[in-house]
Structure 1
Amino acid sequence: MKATYLIPLVLLGMWNCKQQDKKSTPGPISIEVEKPRKQSQEMESISQYLGISLSDSVDIESQFHCWTIDENENVANVDVSNAINLFKKISKTGKSDVYPIFGTKTGKEVLVIMSNQGFGGNIRGAFLIDKSSLEIKKVEFDHVAESEGYGAAITLSTFESQFEGTKVNFSTNTYGLKQNGKIIIPGSKLVDGISGATITSRLTVEMINDNLKKYKVFFE
């Protein structure tokens, strides 16, 4: 065979080899990785309160120990999902016949939730309490429609901090209220009401005293 015919045949063979190599070379492998589940805002808030780490490698729900208490002061164990749903309901409506209690498997502190009708709408409180000493370690308030510059000031740390460091008193009012130099509500510890917001201040303190007494059966 003449050389002029050999060259095209050799080139054709080389091209076929390249095409076979391309077909046999595997493409990139796609691996579907499950994304870590994002915790709800309520779960994140409660976890921070109780000092639970939100690491993706930790099963957050397994860290909780939750209860409920109803209007008849019956206490029951519940899973964290049911407790969170109750928390969401209270956050949305400010009302519930059953209230959740959040704790941890090993911790000595629990978070209790309370609500009441305020001057402009629902007001809510979250109290972190030491189960052994009954000391109130941390307090946060929230509201729906209290007036800015007046009742809305229940969310300020200057007001919230007055309730911290106090021991719960189940036999009488844990807190009393002093407004404009007058004692509006008698109690173990007097707190100063918000200037210009007597009604919101009174309703907040009444909410706390009434609800703390309901938790007596749980703590004792």
Structure 2
Amino acid sequence: MRTKITMLLLGFLLLNCKDQTPAIKQIGNTGVTQEKSITPVPSVINDFGEFIGIVFSDSLTVDDVFNFKKIDVSNVITSIDMSQSVVLYNKMTKREKATSFPIFEVKNTNNVILPVQGLGFGGPIWAIVLLDTNTLEIKNIAFDHFAESDGYGSAMTQPSFENEFIGSITNLDDDTFVMQKNLDRRIDDGVIIDGISGATMTSAGAMQMVNQGLKQYKEYLRP
């Protein structure tokens, strides 16, 4: 009798094992894969890429193009990551005066993108400057603003105004740019800026922003 009971129990256990085997195999064959996490490129960095004439792709990543650094008001230069650089740049588009300034080095070149901030007629204005670190020549510049007047101060974003700055050699010890209307009161040399018709305050603010803003990077440009 005991032998029969033992045999029945063994048979029951074997049957359960067979029933569970397909389930185990199914779990093993679910083919769960882990996808590599891809960090999206912030719109600011895409804009910077366009500014220097490139488009990011699978074969040309942000890490292939930029080194990220910052310089603070004490002239301490440190390396940072992309997210930190974007945060610092976005702060420079606000009215509050920045205390740290992001540096976007273009790899395998002498070029660097340096943001600057200032005030126009309608509020905050800012710009990004592509500078050759060897010659200090402004290779490109792009202005932007918060609320300059349409048809007047907003024209600071037009090539006709921006082109007045491109090709100039930056003076880190004195003002690089001089307003045309102020020439009779100035005795120092400088690149003459005609300004925007009907937007004297915006023109002066943009000129002063570039003059003073680039000096904030003096210790980086002249280590």
Structure 2 length normalisation: TM-score? 0.76
8 Å Cα contact 1:68-1:75 kept in structure 2: yes
State the 1:92 CA deviation.
5.0
Residues 68 and 183 of structure 1: is their aligned pair in 2 closer, same or farther, counting only changes over 3 Å? farther
Deviates more, 1:60-69 or 1:125-134: 60-69
State the 1:53 CA deviation.
4.0
Q: Secondary structure at the match of 1:209?
A: helix
Name the count of aligned residue pairs.
Answer: 191
Q: 1:56: which partner in 2? A: 58
Tell me the distance in 2 between the aligned counterparts of 1:131 and 1:195: 32
Q: Secondary structure at the match of 1:82?
A: helix
8 Å Cα contact 1:113-1:126 kept in structure 2: yes
CA-based RMSD of the aligned residues comes to: 2.5
State the 1:202 CA deviation.
1.0
8 Å Cα contact 1:150-1:195 kept in structure 2: yes
Q: Secondary structure at the match of 2:47?
A: helix
| 1:106 and 2:108 aligned | yes
State the 1:115 CA deviation.
0.7
8 Å Cα contact 2:95-2:119 kept in structure 1: no
Q: 1:138: which partner in 2? A: 140
State the 1:146 CA deviation.
0.5
Residues 87 and 184 of structure 1: is their aligned pair in 2 closer, same or farther, counting only changes over 3 Å? farther
Where do 1:33-72 residues align within 5 Å? 37-72=39-74
Q: 1:125-149: per-residue Cα shift (whole Å, max 9, x none)?
A: 1100001111100011000001111
State the 1:30 CA deviation.
9.8
8 Å Cα contact 1:94-1:116 kept in structure 2: no
State the 1:66 CA deviation.
1.7
Where do 1:158-169 residues align within 5 Å? 158-169=160-171
8 Å Cα contact 2:93-2:125 kept in structure 1: no
Equivalent of residue 116 in structure 1, options 111, 115, 118: 118
8 Å Cα contact 1:140-1:160 kept in structure 2: yes
State the 1:176 CA deviation.
0.6
Structure 1 length normalisation: TM-score? 0.77
State the 1:172 CA deviation.
1.3
Tell me the distance in 1 between the aligned counterparts of 2:196 and 2:96: 21
Q: 5+ unaligned residues in a row in structure 1: which ranges?
A: 1-28
Q: Secondary structure at the match of 1:91?
A: coil
Residues 128 and 135 of structure 1: is their aligned pair in 2 closer, same or farther, counting only changes over 3 Å? same
Aligned residue identity for 2:57: S
Q: 1:75-108: per-residue Cα shift (whole Å, max 9, x none)?
A: 2222222112211232355642111010133221
State the 1:118 CA deviation.
1.4
Residues 109 and 196 of structure 1: is their aligned pair in 2 closer, same or farther, counting only changes over 3 Å? same
Q: 1:88: which partner in 2? A: 90
| 1:153 and 2:155 aligned | yes
Q: Secondary structure at the match of 2:150?
A: coil
Identity among equivalent pairs (%): 32
